[in-house]
Amino acid sequence: MQKIKTGDTVKVIAGKDKGKDGKVLHVKDGKVLVEGIGMVTKHTKPSAANQQGGIVNKESFIDASNVMLLHKGQPTRVGFKVEGDKKVRVAKATGEVID
Protein backbone atom coordinates (compact mmCIF):
# COMPACT_ATOMS: atom_id res chain seq x y z
CA MET A 1 0.00 0.00 0.00
CA GLN A 2 1.31 3.44 -0.92
CA LYS A 3 1.25 6.60 1.15
CA ILE A 4 0.32 8.82 -1.82
CA LYS A 5 -2.45 7.72 -4.18
CA THR A 6 -3.95 9.04 -7.41
CA GLY A 7 -6.52 11.75 -6.64
CA ASP A 8 -4.86 12.92 -3.40
CA THR A 9 -4.10 16.61 -2.90
CA VAL A 10 -0.45 17.18 -2.06
CA LYS A 11 1.87 20.08 -1.18
CA VAL A 12 5.39 20.26 -2.64
CA ILE A 13 7.97 20.54 0.16
CA ALA A 14 11.19 20.57 -1.89
CA GLY A 15 12.40 21.63 -5.32
CA LYS A 16 11.66 24.48 -7.70
CA ASP A 17 7.89 24.33 -7.06
CA LYS A 18 8.20 24.34 -3.23
CA GLY A 19 5.05 25.63 -1.53
CA LYS A 20 2.66 24.84 -4.40
CA ASP A 21 -0.10 22.29 -4.10
CA GLY A 22 -2.04 20.23 -6.61
CA LYS A 23 -3.89 17.00 -7.36
CA VAL A 24 -1.97 13.77 -8.03
CA LEU A 25 -2.66 12.56 -11.57
CA HIS A 26 -0.50 9.41 -11.56
CA VAL A 27 1.79 7.43 -9.24
CA LYS A 28 4.57 5.23 -10.60
CA ASP A 29 7.70 3.68 -8.99
CA GLY A 30 7.95 6.13 -6.07
CA LYS A 31 7.31 9.14 -8.30
CA VAL A 32 4.19 11.26 -8.63
CA LEU A 33 2.72 13.34 -11.46
CA VAL A 34 1.05 16.41 -9.94
CA GLU A 35 -1.27 18.75 -11.83
CA GLY A 36 0.60 21.98 -12.75
CA ILE A 37 3.82 20.99 -10.91
CA GLY A 38 7.22 20.22 -12.46
CA MET A 39 6.41 21.77 -15.82
CA VAL A 40 8.87 21.03 -18.62
CA THR A 41 8.98 22.12 -22.26
CA LYS A 42 8.89 19.22 -24.68
CA HIS A 43 9.62 19.48 -28.38
CA THR A 44 7.19 17.32 -30.36
CA LYS A 45 7.31 16.14 -33.95
CA PRO A 46 4.24 16.56 -36.12
CA SER A 47 2.03 13.46 -35.95
CA ALA A 48 -1.50 12.35 -36.80
CA ALA A 49 -2.73 13.52 -33.39
CA ASN A 50 -0.72 16.75 -33.40
CA GLN A 51 -0.47 18.07 -36.97
CA GLN A 52 1.48 21.18 -36.04
CA GLY A 53 4.16 19.79 -33.72
CA GLY A 54 6.23 22.36 -31.86
CA ILE A 55 6.92 23.13 -28.20
CA VAL A 56 4.52 21.78 -25.57
CA ASN A 57 4.49 22.47 -21.81
CA LYS A 58 3.63 19.42 -19.71
CA GLU A 59 4.02 18.05 -16.20
CA SER A 60 6.90 15.74 -15.33
CA PHE A 61 7.23 13.21 -12.53
CA ILE A 62 8.70 14.36 -9.21
CA ASP A 63 9.84 12.12 -6.37
CA ALA A 64 7.17 11.17 -3.85
CA SER A 65 9.52 12.18 -1.01
CA ASN A 66 9.25 15.80 -2.19
CA VAL A 67 5.49 15.98 -1.61
CA MET A 68 3.36 15.86 1.54
CA LEU A 69 -0.29 14.81 1.70
CA LEU A 70 -2.81 17.56 2.49
CA HIS A 71 -5.52 16.40 4.92
CA LYS A 72 -8.19 19.04 5.63
CA GLY A 73 -5.84 21.71 4.27
CA GLN A 74 -2.94 20.74 6.56
CA PRO A 75 0.21 18.96 5.33
CA THR A 76 0.71 15.72 7.22
CA ARG A 77 2.83 12.61 7.25
CA VAL A 78 1.05 9.34 6.54
CA GLY A 79 1.00 6.20 8.66
CA PHE A 80 -0.92 2.95 8.52
CA LYS A 81 -3.28 1.25 10.95
CA VAL A 82 -5.27 -1.97 10.79
CA GLU A 83 -8.98 -1.42 11.41
CA GLY A 84 -10.84 -4.71 11.59
CA ASP A 85 -9.44 -6.62 8.63
CA LYS A 86 -8.50 -3.56 6.51
CA LYS A 87 -5.25 -1.60 6.44
CA VAL A 88 -6.02 2.15 6.29
CA ARG A 89 -3.98 5.32 5.93
CA VAL A 90 -3.81 7.59 8.98
CA ALA A 91 -2.84 11.27 9.19
CA LYS A 92 0.05 11.55 11.68
CA ALA A 93 -0.86 15.17 12.53
CA THR A 94 -4.41 14.41 13.70
CA GLY A 95 -4.59 10.63 13.98
CA GLU A 96 -7.66 10.57 11.72
CA VAL A 97 -8.27 7.92 9.06
CA ILE A 98 -7.72 9.39 5.59
CA ASP A 99 -9.72 6.93 3.46
CATH number of the domain bearing residue 48: 2.30.30.30
Q: What is the pLDDT of residues 70-85, one digit of tens each?
A: 999 999 999 999 999 9
Residue 68 lies in a domain: yes
Residue 83 lies in a domain: no
| Count of domains for the chain | 1
Residue 53 lies in a domain: yes
Q: What is the pLDDT of residues 20-65, one digit of tens each?
A: 999 999 999 999 999 999 999 999 999 998 888 899 999 999 999 9
Residue 15 lies in a domain: yes
Q: Let me know if 1 is exposed, middle or buried by CB neighbors in 10 A (0-12, 13-18, 19+).
A: exposed
Q: What is the pTM of this model?
A: 0.85
Residue 78 lies in a domain: no
Nearest CA to 92 out of 83, 74, 52 is that of 74
Residue 84 lies in a domain: no
Q: Which residue segment(s) compose the domain that 66 sits in?
A: 9-72
Measured between alpha carbons, how far is 44 from 73 in angstroms, rounded to an integer?
37
> What single string gives the DSSP state of each residue in 66-99?
GEEEEETTEEE-EEEEEETTEEEEEETTT--B--
Nearest CA to 75 out of 6, 27, 3 is that of 3
